[in-house]
Chains A and B, each alone.
Chain A
Amino acid sequence: MVAEVTFFILSALALGSAVMVITRRNPVHSALWLIVTLFSVGGVFLILRAPFLFAVQIILYVGGIMVLIIFVIMLVSVDVSGRQQQFSRQWLVGLTTVLILAAELGYALYRGSKGFLLARSAPAAALENNTQAIGTALYQNYMLPVEIASILLLVAMVGAVLMAKRKME
């Protein structure tokens, strides 16, 4: 019961702040509202007994927002953006996409969890200690992919520097 009430409060908070994100004229305000959204979603993860996702959500996304704010302040002139048109002209396309997505979600809800040939979800008992379980999986079964991802990041970094550098000597 407590969990459900908390869930609804957090969901309302997430949706409300998400609306604020897209309606604020000042991009810094939008970014601040985005933090509220992401925190609320993090709370939902906590209710779903996924502390790992909760932590990742806070560290990566909320941390990332700070960087975003800095970028906004650096790149976008706040005065100019305040006078600009708020919504792009593609709102019809956007609306259609939203309707299609809503129809899909509605259909999935209508069919219910038995309606699709999905893999069975884990039993509730397995949810205990799932942060440890994720750590074990990452550093045992998936150790190689985790390590190899570092090569991918290195390549991306080298490539980005190479492409963006103004002048090669």
Chain B
Amino acid sequence: MTTVSIPDVMRILPELILAGFAILVMLFEPFVPAGRKRVLGWIALLGVLVAGMAFTWAPPNAGMAFSGSIAADGFSYFFIFLFLTIAALALLGSINYLERDNIHHAEYYALILFSTVGMCFMAASAELIMIFLGLEISSLSTYVLAGFRRHDPRSNESAMKYFLLGSFATAFFLYGIAFVYGLTGTTNLVDLAADLAQPGKWSTLTRAALILMFVGLAFKVSTVPFQIWTPDVYQGAPAPVTAFLSTGPKAAAFAVLVRIFLGLAGPSGPAAFWVIWISAALTMTVGNFAALLQKNVKRMLAYSAIAHAGYVLVGLAAAMASGSTEGASAVLFYLAAYAFMNVGAFLLIAHLAGPGEGRTEISDFTGLGRAAPGAAACLTVFMLSLSGIPSTAGFFAKFYVFRASVHAGLIGLTIIAVLNSVVSVYYYLNLVVTMYMREGEPQAARTPMPLPLYSAIAASLFAIFYLGLYPNHFLLLSTLSSKPLP
């Protein structure tokens, strides 16, 4: 007879707090006068902080909870903290944006929190059913968030495309789970790992199940050839939502990929490894070369997001090839570093694009270096970090991934990755050159940055330089966190 025990509840405390605050925000809305809706944003932010603090002050004992559904381990703590950080930054960047564009509703904050709950469950679950539920919670919330500018046809298009293709992809994932259950009689990753480690357990069907699950997750992290939706969705969604969307759910899907592929696919033979290898190479190349052609900042960053997913896959391939923790820790480090620079960049663009996000073409940023030196400098740092210039977080993120893949003997893949990051410098610097060296009046907004956004940008900048100048602490953390329980 199992009953709910206090340690079990402690292990899902951040999720419970977040869900509670999400409901609280919606319940509060009727009591808040129309002009003071930003209070709701602060409540949501408080929820994220309380969730983080609850975890820091009373860290639960690592272990399984709820009959093996939840794996509370260093791996899940790392990701939960990452998601809380992303949510906090996105909330800070949203408050003034929602006011400016007149779409200030409590549901926005609630959905950000709910999506975070889903992502936390994805990273912390050792049970495929729980992972699926987490994936659906986070996806459904982001479908709605993508269409939050309801009077903007591009936002509608974004939500519609994301919803249709996303549902299709989750169906693939679910189909994979069904196959796994049919073949082994369990959906628990610990039991599965034990079951699949027996000789003779891997058949064509088992591999097909693994590939189906990969397809479902590959859509979420937008790897080639499942990336078609990304530019349209990222461009049409409100920019703070894109900031959230391009980092949080992506990191969550990678957490699941790491758990499944490192935990289960070991004895499956080389097939799984080559799937990752090929999609890594394709994703980097397609993402970077398509980004070269973009005229719109949001679209360019969308293709850059695709390319970055490719680099993370290189780390995953290295982890699968060598079996050491180096590859997995590089993946974790990369996802965190990428989150800071991408959230920062999109939040800043949300501000610069002006009311209704009217100005997101690269040419709108002409001459911004003189007109708004502060904002231009911040955007430059984000671009440099995304391209991997030393002393920024992006450099060490790439460095650790490439080092892991060299150590794992993946020389070919490393060469492709390095060449790709050289190509990427062109389009990131193109924006910097436009801001500083082209003559002209900037179309981008020159209103001063509001304080919440300012603090979010400052926090991202601090994290970028901290990871870029003193990466050792964080690398140690990600190495310690890189061994999932099952």
Contact = CB atoms under 8 A, between A and B. Distances in A.
A153 B80 CA distance: 22
Interface of B: 1-2, 4, 12, 19, 23, 26, 34, 66-70, 103, 105, 107, 110-111, 114, 117-118, 121, 127, 129-130, 133-134, 136-137, 140-141, 143-144, 147, 150, 159, 181-185, 201, 203, 205-206
B163 to A, nearest CB: 9
Most chain A beta-carbon neighbours within 10 Å: one of B141, B147, B159? B141
A158 interface: yes
B150 A168 contact: yes
Contacts of B2: 140-141
Given A151-B19, A151-B114, A152-B140, 16 more contacts: A140-B2, A142-B67, A144-B12, A144-B66, A145-B69, A145-B133, A148-B121, A149-B133, A151-B118, A155-B111, A155-B114, A155-B141, A156-B140, A158-B110, A159-B141, A159-B143
Contact of A143 (B4, B103, B150, B184): B4
A143 B66 contact: yes
B159 A148 contact: no
A110 interface: no
Contacts of B69: 141-142, 144-145
B134 to A, nearest CB: 8
B184 A140 contact: no
Interface stretch (A10-18, A42-50, A58-66, A111-119): A111-119
Interface residues of A, number: 24
Q: Helix, strand, loop or mixed for chain B's interface?
A: helix
Interface of A: 116-120, 140-145, 148-149, 151-152, 154-156, 158-159, 162-163, 168-169
A159 B111 contact: yes
Contacts of A169: 34
Of listed A116, A142, A151, A156, residue having the most chain B CB within 10 A? A151
B67 A159 contact: no
Contacts of B117: 151
A155 B140 contact: yes
A145 B141 contact: no
Contacts of A154: 23, 114
